[in-house]
């Protein structure tokens, strides 16, 4: 990701020359668009590329089916897992939209986020909130229809991330913990959707890995915005690159140790009937080190989903890890 020039982040935090008229864009931006343009703005606001984060709901399918003596490709379980994924895509898009509406003034001072439809005035907040409310409401209704327990977790996810869009994002450390808990709720919801247990170790690995990503994103924002960081988001004034590097170091080691213990623990060996999951340890080792390389040497980390989709070695690592896990756990099914 290219580093912005000083002119990008100088006066008014790098806002466009016409940013002073952005408020007018809030009121009339959507009305000036064609239906196709409005749909495009909504899709950009929904951040479809971020849906990759919701793949964590399939953790229950991969790691839980075997413990119940079921086949990985059991049609009903696969269908429920896919439905859970789609539902969380709707919920997360609703949350992204709410966040963009709340942060639109701050986003206008950001060299990259100022191009978002709501911040730029291309999409009015009222239209965005109306559509997001409809999508989020439909997704929540579908969650309760799928399974009441799944609906309860989906409601908690919406509540937690809604609070993040409000006060929680302004509380140091709590802000990144909230993001991490959101990933844990996704993983737990995926297991509840197909009625399988999920290991506590996997939930621990999920929250630690999510913390690693969230802290790396905070570091990227600090480096990108430099002295203007706290003007864009005041919580950034509570962090420093050194502090975040210390936190990232702790979380990195904890994530790897937790995963290693999970793969070689007697309980895991008994559940899956194999002691070969330890063979997958090199994948998270490489993946995390590759991510750190991209953060520190390539100034990445602003969007974990974008980095995963655009960095071929990282994408290959994740794909090979998933394929290897499936082959080891379900070797008898192939």
Q: Are 150 and 172 found together in one domain?
A: yes
Comparing CA positions, the residue from 309, 262, 294 lying closest to residue 281 is 262
Query: What CATH number does the domain containing 136 carry?
Result: 1.10.357.140
Tens-digit pLDDT profile for residues 192-237: 999 998 888 889 999 999 999 999 988 888 887 776 666 667 788 8
| Number of Cβ within a 10 Å radius of residue 172 | 12
Show which of 198, 233, 251 is a domain's final residue.
Answer: 198
Separation of alpha carbons 202 and 7, rounded Å: 45
Tens-digit pLDDT profile for residues 90-147: 999 999 999 999 988 888 887 878 888 998 888 899 999 999 999 999 999 999 999 9
- DSSP letter at 195 equals T
- Centroid of chain to Cα 227: 26
Q: Are 62 and 188 found together in one domain?
A: yes
What are the backbone dihedrals phi and psi of residue 266, each rounded to the nearest 5 degrees, phi first? -60, -35
Q: Are 220 and 332 found together in one domain?
A: yes
Q: Are 249 and 227 found together in one domain?
A: yes
Residue 104 inside a domain? The answer is yes
Separation of alpha carbons 55 and 185, rounded Å: 12
Q: Are 68 and 149 found together in one domain?
A: yes
Q: Are 162 and 215 found together in one domain?
A: no
pLDDT of residue 23: 44
Residue 12 inside a domain? The answer is no
Tens-digit pLDDT profile for residues 145-204: 999 999 999 999 999 999 998 899 889 999 999 999 999 999 999 999 999 988 888 899
Sign, CA torsion 244/247/249/252: negative
Structural domains counted in the chain: 2
Is residue 214 within a helix (H) or strand (E), and if so which, with residue range?
A: helix 200-225
Q: Are 216 and 88 found together in one domain?
A: no
Show which of 198, 218, 239 is a domain's final residue.
Answer: 198
pLDDT of residue 110: 77
How long a stretch of residues is the chain? 334
The arithmetic mean of pLDDT across residues 244-254, rounded, is 95
Residue 274 inside a domain? The answer is yes
pLDDT of residue 33: 67
Q: Are 215 and 175 found together in one domain?
A: no
Higher pLDDT, 17 or 185: 185
CA distances from 287 to 49, 61, 62, 230 (A): 20, 22, 20, 31
Q: Which domain holds residue 188?
A: 41-198
Residue 30 inside a domain? The answer is no
Separation of alpha carbons 179 and 158, rounded Å: 12
Residue 6 inside a domain? The answer is no
């Amino acid at each position: 990701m290219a580093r912005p020039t000083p002119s990008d982040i100088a006066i008014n935090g790098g806002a466009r020359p016409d940013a002073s008229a952005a408020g007018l864009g809030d009121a009339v931006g959507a009305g000036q668009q064609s239906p196709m343009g409005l749909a495009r703005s909504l899709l950009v606001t929904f951040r479809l590329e971020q849906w990759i984060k919701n793949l964590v709901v399939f953790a229950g399918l991969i790691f839980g089916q075997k413990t119940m003596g079921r086949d990985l490709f059991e049609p009903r379980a696969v269908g429920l897992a896919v439905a859970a994924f789609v539902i969380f895509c709707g919920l997360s898009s609703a949350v992204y939209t709410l966040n963009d509406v709340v942060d639109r003034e701050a986003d206008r001072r950001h060299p990259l986020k100022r191009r978002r439809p709501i911040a730029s005035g291309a999409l009015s907040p009222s239209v965005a909130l109306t559509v997001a409310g409809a999508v989020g409401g439909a997704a929540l209704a579908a969650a309760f229809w799928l399974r009441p327990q799944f609906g309860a977790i989906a409601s908690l996810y919406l509540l937690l991330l809604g609070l993040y869009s409000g006060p929680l994002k302004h509380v140091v450390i709590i802000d990144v913990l909230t993001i991490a808990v959101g990933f844990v709720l996704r993983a737990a919801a995926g297991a509840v959707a197909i009625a399988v247990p999920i290991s506590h170790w996997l939930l621990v690995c999920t929250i630690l890995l999510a913390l690693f990503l969230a802290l790396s994103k905070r570091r990227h924002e600090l480096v990108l915005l430099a002295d203007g960081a706290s003007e864009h988001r005041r919580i950034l004034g509570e962090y420093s690159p050194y502090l975040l590097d210390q936190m990232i170091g702790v979380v990195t080691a904890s994530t790897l140790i937790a995963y290693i213990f999970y793969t070689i623990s007697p309980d895991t060996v008994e559940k899956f009937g194999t002691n070969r999951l330890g063979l997958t340890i090199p994948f998270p080792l490489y993946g995390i080190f590759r991510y750190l390389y991209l953060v520190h040497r390539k100034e990445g980390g602003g969007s974990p989903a974008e980095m995963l989709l655009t960095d071929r070695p990282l994408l290959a690592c994740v794909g090979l890890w998933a394929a290897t896990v499936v082959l080891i756990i379900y070797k008898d099914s192939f």
